[in-house]
Amino acid sequence: MPKKTPSVSSWDEFGMNNLKSPIVETPCASSERFIILGIETSCDDTGVALVKNGEKILSNVVSSQIKIHSEYGGVVPELASRSHLENIYIVVDEALKQAKLLLKDIDGVAVTYGPGLVGSILIGIEAAKAIAYVHKKPLIGVNHLEGHIFSTLLEGRKPEFPFLSLIVSGGHTELVMVKGFGKYTIIGKTRDDAVGEAFDKVAKLLDLGYPGGPKVEKLAKISEKRIKFPEAVMKDGSFDFSFSGLKTAVLSCKNADKNIDSNDLCAGFQDAVIAALLNKTIAVAAKYKIKRVVLGGGVVANSTIRGEFIKRGKREGIEIFFPSMPLCTDNGAMIAVAGYFKFLKKEYSGYVLNADPGLSL
């Protein structure tokens, strides 16, 4: 069943429309209010949301495909595309119903055009094109990663520019310097597995099922004897990540001792992942003298990761921001927010907009 994210407080309540704030570099301070329809279909979640003025969620509906893919231990691209095709307009209708709006009431249509699974992305794009064309609304192509970066803007606390963004999801692990909307520099990224992918693979080799992230975290919490795994260090001194070796280390331990406790393996694996994410993020923040770190992506739903970042941030004097649980995973609201700022700049896409599965920031 589609799940709903409740509305959140507006920026005005927290003074974020103050012109002195560094975050206001676009016409944010305008008295006008705009409603953006956001569509997200980059992987296996069909997400549609309506967001007002880039800050207030009017509705946020997500149709999950976990049951479809769980028996295969991961996302099957063809099945994902078919499910999007079946559900996209049902989810659009539900989002409009919850927001008590009609399509004629929206001001723009934002849609993910990459990165992700090409077949899945195309379903969202074609639906967005149809809506935009019929109702004569601007079409706005959005980078999925921008959605994760700015999903935090839907919460009460807003980070000022510049800030460091750590994107951790099933397909991405990137450290990005964000100087403004559309102003990004990638500082580090994974050279092999993404964090979410590593969690899924470890869960699979331990026969825990799919999706792996929540299952690994659950077992890690009840571990009595954590196993120590090494943190991958880049010999070239870069801030890139590598998690394939960690996955192999877990497998080697399992093969060496058939009676080894899966709880301890999960705890050791998760500890090593958190150490890599934390140490590199804090090191980058120190190097560039950044005092704000924004986390985004499905892996941020891991409560242990959130807690460790909060504790380390307090010690280092760094503010840590992350979205609420429903906004960590793929959703239309984050696409609507990113689309809103493009809408203000009139950065519209033509109807030739196409899927770009390898799109980067």
Q: Is 41 domain-assigned?
A: yes
Say if residue 298 is exposed, middle or buried (CB neighbours under 10 Å; 0-12, 13-18, 19+): buried
Residues whose CB falls within 8 Å of the CB of residue 139, separated by 6 or more in sequence, listed in order: 108, 109, 111, 128, 129, 132, 348, 349, 350, 351, 353
Count the residues in the chain: 361
* DSSP-derived secondary structure letter, 120: H
**pLDDT tens-digit profile of 46-96?**
999 999 999 999 999 999 998 889 888 889 999 999 999 999 999 999 999
Is the domain of 9 the same as that of 103? yes
Is the domain of 235 the same as that of 141? no
Is the domain of 80 the same as that of 197? no
Q: What percent of the chain has a predicted confidence (pLDDT) above 90? A: 81
Q: Is 19 domain-assigned?
A: yes
Is the domain of 235 the same as that of 101? no
Q: Is 274 domain-assigned?
A: yes
Residue 99 sits in which domain range?
Answer: 3-155+327-344
Q: Is 175 domain-assigned?
A: yes
**pLDDT tens-digit profile of 237-293?**
899 999 999 999 999 999 999 889 999 999 999 999 999 999 999 999 999 999 999
Count of the separate structural domains present in the chain: 2
Residue entry with tokens 């704030």: 21
pTM: 0.88
Is the domain of 42 the same as that of 136? yes
Give the integer Cα–Cα distance in Å for 322 and 150. Answer: 10
